[in-house]
Amino acid sequence: MNFLRRIFSHQDEDHNDPTFNPERTDDLYALTEEGYIIAQDIACQFEYVEHAVCPDCGGELLLVAQINRASQGLNELVCACKQCNQRSSLIFDVSNTTYQTWMSRQLGDLYVRNYDGPPRRPARRQKQRTRR
Ligand SMILES: [Zn+2]
């Protein structure tokens, strides 16, 4: 989990990047009850891939496909290991309020809410708070 801390420490590097949400919270990368990774903008999902490693051999991951699951409030990134070519999927929650608020600001009149369900939240909020 150390790589998550590294990402947190870089979180306010580039405020001019339109894929970056300057209002990211401590819930970033927390897991929902279903095991989805909480995303709060576009950039964080690619940052996560950059820092993640292959579950089999620990090799670096290469992004090979994106599966739009907006109707489920999800976005799936399919990766391949650079060393052993093993495929793995990272499934991000984009139903959360931080992401949706940011997205609606980005899109303005073009914003459409694709997912009807309630926003997902971190599985264990208490634990998230103590991480600071
Ligand atoms: Zn591998």
Q: Looking at this protein, which amino acid is placed at residue 14?
A: D
Q: Give the per-residue pLDDT at 25.
A: 97
Q: Give the per-residue pLDDT at 17.
A: 87
- Distance (angstroms) between ligand 1 centre and the Cα of 99 equals 30
Question: Residue 78 in contact with residue 70, Cβ under 8 Å?
Answer: no
Range of the domain at 42: 2-130
Can you tell me which residue has the tokens 């739009």? 68
Mean pLDDT of 117-128: 80
- Distance (angstroms) between ligand 1 centre and the Cα of 57 equals 4
Mean pLDDT of 22-47: 97
Mean pLDDT of 40-48: 97
Mean pLDDT of 41-67: 96
Angle at 109 between CA 103 and CA 111, to 5 degrees: 35
Alpha-helical regions (H) of 10-122: 43-51, 97-107
Phi then psi for residue 105, to 5 deg, are: -65, -40
In whole numbers, what is the pLDDT of the chain averaged over residues? 88
- 3-state DSSP assignment of residue 4: helix
- Distance (angstroms) between ligand 1 centre and the Cα of 69 equals 25
Pairing of strands 37-38, 87-93: parallel
pLDDT tier, 1 (very low <50, low <70, confident <90, very high otherwise): very low
To the nearest whole percent, how much of the chain has pLDDT over 90? Answer: 78
Mean pLDDT of 37-55: 96
Spatial distance between the Cα atoms of 37 and 56, rounded to a whole number of angstroms: 19
Determine the angle formed by the axes of helices 43-51 and 2-9, rounding to 10 degrees.
140
**For the chain, how many structural domains are there in total?**
1
Question: Residue 24 in contact with residue 11, Cβ under 8 Å?
Answer: yes
To the nearest whole percent, how much of the chain has pLDDT over 70? Answer: 83
